[in-house]
Amino acid sequence: MMLHDQLLEQARQLAELDPTRPRQANLRRAVSSAYYALFHLLVHEGSTLIAGDPRQELDAAICFGLRRWYDHAKMKRASEWFQGKKTPVSVEALLPAAATVRGQPQPAQAHLGTSTPGELRRVADAFVDLQQQRHVADYELRAPPFEPVSCAPAARNVGERL
C-alpha cells in the first residue's frame, strides 16, 4: 500500500474515532493526514510520469530524488492557476506577450487557448482547500473546535475527487 493510501486511511480512521465525544487532536490530525494524502498522491503521480514506476529498481533512485523537488507553496500556486486565479510568474515568463481583447489583458488560460478540465479543477480545489484546513488544524490552536462532520468528508473527498 502506497504512502498516500495509508495517509488517507489514517485520516478516515481518525475522523471516525470517538464518535460520541470526538477529541480535537484526532480531528485535527485527520484533516492534516487528508491533506498529506493528496500531496503525496500528486507527488507520486508527477514523479512517476517523469521517471517511471518507483517500484521498478532502475527507476526508484530517480523517482525518489524527484520527490524532493515538490514544494507545498509552488503546488498551491499551480493549483490556484488551475482554479483560474493569477498565473505564476514562472509560467508568464514562458508565454509570449499577453493577448488583449479591446485593450484589456487576457488571462494566461485564454492566451493558451485552453481551459482547465473539470477533474483537474476539482483536484486543484481540494488541494487549496485542504492546505488551508491543515494550516488551521496544525497551527491555529485558538480556532473554533473542529467538528467530525467537517473532518470525515474532507478525508473521504480526497479519494472521491481523484
pLDDT tens-digit series, residues 45-101: 888 888 777 777 656 777 777 888 899 998 998 888 888 787 777 777 766 655 555
Q: Which cell numbers in the block locate residue 86?
A: 493569477
Q: Residue 43 pLDDT more than 70?
A: yes
Return the higher-pLDDT residue of 113 and 33: 33
153 and 12 Cβ atoms separated by less than 8 Å:
no
Q: Residue 19 pLDDT more than 60?
A: yes
Sign for the CA dihedral angle at 74, 76, 78, 84 comes to negative
The amino acid at 62: I
Q: How many residues does the chain have?
A: 162
Per-domain boundaries in the chain: 3-95+106-161
Q: 27 Cβ partners below 8 Å, 6+ apart?
A: 14, 15, 137, 145, 146, 147, 148, 151
Return the higher-pLDDT residue of 38 and 82: 38
What 3-state DSSP class applies to 79? helix
pLDDT 10s digits, 107-148: 555 544 456 678 888 888 899 999 999 999 999 988 888 776
